[in-house]
């Protein structure tokens, strides 16, 4: 009997060995080209929509714009999706847009300047072609924003995330003419052009009411084994100005990361920065399974705090009702359905 089975077993083994291993592709976003007349080049965008976006019809979301998209988009979109899972997420679901670089120094620096640096034992000027940030921000405001608003369901609330030169660009836009409601600046290069933005901060007369800034600083002095690091000196001066209230009515928070250097600080900085920006979103959603009216109360207060209309997503109601069907009374379930109709009437 065993001898008769062996040929069939060998044939099955052969099929398994020759068959390719197949699986389902996992995608966290799409790459979309956008032709820029302002920059006279094509720019690649990396765009991630939240869970339930395609199934929904009416939910509108904040948009988070990420500079250095080729470096920061993958980990940040994965982290954000995890922290915004419905219905128990601590961040609101959002659309993430990564902007990839073509000429990073040009796009992210506000002025044309040079800095002497050592290369192959010789002194030479660095940062050739710098100073194109004004055109880059025009691209964002006049081409990128309209593209996203036309093709995606945005609620109008915008966040900008930048690191190093990207952080420099973020704070420069904050000081010049804010295009965003909130900013995360990770170890920004505030030493640029003899601390240009420190001088701007000292002289600004703007009112920053309703704008949020999270400033992350790395422990570069220890890692680089130097006593006075230019990042730390300049960021320290900017922090002092914030403490003095020079940026009137700005909602801000600062964090120093003892164990992170310039290259690693965006990971904890973005995590903490997003939690700071969207702190009013966090609530005990389990209360809604006892008193569904707390849903409206929470999102009304959230909208007032953020200055923009925030509402529960269609996916929020779907998942909350699944839980309510198992754990709550039929009356509670009906109340949740009625509140869903308030936000999404048929």
229, 281, 283, 278: which is closest to 256 by C-alpha?
229
CB 288 within 8 A of CB 320: yes
Taking residues 247-251, report their average pLDDT. Answer: 98
**Greater confidence, 18 or 179?**
179
Distance separating alpha carbons of residues 134 and 156, to the nearest angstrom: 22
pLDDT at 3 over 90: no
41 DSSP β-pair partners: 36
Confidence of residue 22 (pLDDT cuts 50, 70, 90): low
Cis peptide before 9 (omega within 30 of 0): no
Tokens (6 digits) for 205: 């007369």
> Parallel, antiparallel, or unpaired for β 182-186 and 115-119?
unpaired
Question: What pLDDT score was predicted for residue 126?
Answer: 66
Q: Mind listing the pLDDT tens digit for each residue in 36-78? A: 999 999 999 999 999 999 988 899 999 999 999 999 999 999 9
The token pair at 204 is: 């600004």
Structure tokens that stand for 27 in this block: 């995608």
Cα(327)–Cα(325) distance, integer angstroms = 6
Other beta carbons within 10 Å of 309: 13
Residue at token pair 């920004």: 188
pLDDT in tens, 312-342: 999 999 999 999 999 999 999 999 999 999 9
Domain ranges in the chain are 30-281, 285-343
- Which CATH code for domain 30-281? 3.40.50.1820
Model pLDDT for residues 150-196, shown as the tens digit of each residue: 999 999 999 999 999 999 999 999 999 999 999 999 999 999 999 99
Q: Which residues of 70-95 are buried (b: 16+ CB within 10 A; e: fewer)?
A: ebbbeebbeebbeebebbebbbbbbb
């Amino acid at each position: 009997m065993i001898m008769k089975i062996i040929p069939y077993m060998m044939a099955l083994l052969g099929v398994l060995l020759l068959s390719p291993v197949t699986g389902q592709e996992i995608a966290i976003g799409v790459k979309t080209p956008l032709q820029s007349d302002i920059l006279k080049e094509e720019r690649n965008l990396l765009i991630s929509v939240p869970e339930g976006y395609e199934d929904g019809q009416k939910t509108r979301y904040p948009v988070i714009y990420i500079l250095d998209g080729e470096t920061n988009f993958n980990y940040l979109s994965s982290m954000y999706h995890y922290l915004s899972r419905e219905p128990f997420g601590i961040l609101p679901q959002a659309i993430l847009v990564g902007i990839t670089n073509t000429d990073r120094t040009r796009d992210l620096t506000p002025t044309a300047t040079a800095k002497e640096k050592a290369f192959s034992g010789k002194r030479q000027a660095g940062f050739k072609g710098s100073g194109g940030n004004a055109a880059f921000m025009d691209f964002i405001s006049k081409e990128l924003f309209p593209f996203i608003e036309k093709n995606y369901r945005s609620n109008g609330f915008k966040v900008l995330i930048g690191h190093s030169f990207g952080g420099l660009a973020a704070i420069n836009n904050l000081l010049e003419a804010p295009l965003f409601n909130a900013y995360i600046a990770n170890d920004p290069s505030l030493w640029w052009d003899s601390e240009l933005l420190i001088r701007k901060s000292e002289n600004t007369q703007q009112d920053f009411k309703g704008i949020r800034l999270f400033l992350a600083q790395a422990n570069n002095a220890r890692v680089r084994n130097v006593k006075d690091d230019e990042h730390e000196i300049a960021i320290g001066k900017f922090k002092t100005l914030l403490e003095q209230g020079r940026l009137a009515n700005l909602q801000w928070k600062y964090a120093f990361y003892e164990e992170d250097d310039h290259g690693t600080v965006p990971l904890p900085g973005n995590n903490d920065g997003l939690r700071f920006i969207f702190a009013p979103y966090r609530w005990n959603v389990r209360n809604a399974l006892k008193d569904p009216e707390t849903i409206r109360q929470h999102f009304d207060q959230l909208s007032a705090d953020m200055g923009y209309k925030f509402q529960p997503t269609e996916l929020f109601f779907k998942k909350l009702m699944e839980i309510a069907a198992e754990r709550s009374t039929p009356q509670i379930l009906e109340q949740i359905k009625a509140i869903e109709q308030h936000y999404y009437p048929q």
